Structures are given as C-alpha cells and as structure tokens.
Amino acid sequence: MYNLTYLKNNFYVTLIKEDIRDAKQVEKASDRVDVVIPTAIQTAVNTTVLDPRTDFEINAMGMFNVLEATRKTGA
C-alpha cells in the first residue's frame, strides 16, 4: 500500500480493481490514459505450485491483455 499511497500523493493515479484476464475491462480501463502500470501480476510461489494454470493465466494472458489494450488505445 505504501507504493500506491506514494503515487496517489505525488501523481494523478486511479486504481482500477478488475480482473486482468478480462480483455474488455482492461481495454476500457486503458482508454484515454497516458500511462498504464499493471500491478495485477501473481507473485506468490505457493499459488504457482498449487494452481499453475490460474497463475499462468494471470501472468501471461493478463499481461498480453494489457499490452494489446495499450497498443489499441495508444496508452
């Protein structure tokens, strides 16, 4: 939370809580913005071991959705 607080205090930042795997929501969220900072990447090793498919979907497909959305919207 420290990083988010710092960003909000020093920049105009909006936190959007959506599923990064939902390409339509990611595209909607990246419309009319200058910068996208994806922070939804799964980092817990336990989750990777227990549920590797979901971990992969969040990390790989989620990042793909962010890249595609920013390519389409020019963010």
Instruction: Give per-residue pLDDT as tens, 48-73.
Output: 899 999 989 988 999 999 999 999 87
Residue 21 has pLDDT above 90, yes or no: yes
Q: Is the pLDDT of residue 74 over 80?
A: no
Terminal C-alpha separation, the chain: 24
41, 56 Cβ separation under 8 angstroms: no
Could you give the number of structural domains in the chain?
1
Please give the biggest Cα pair distance in the chain.
38
Give which of 53, 57, 58, 27 is closest to 40, Cα–Cα. Answer: 58
Instruction: In whole angstroms, give the CA distance from residue 66 to residue 64.
Output: 5
For the segment 9-32, the average pLDDT, to the nearest whole number, is: 90
Q: What is the pTM of this model?
A: 0.76
What's the domain range around 10?
Answer: 2-73
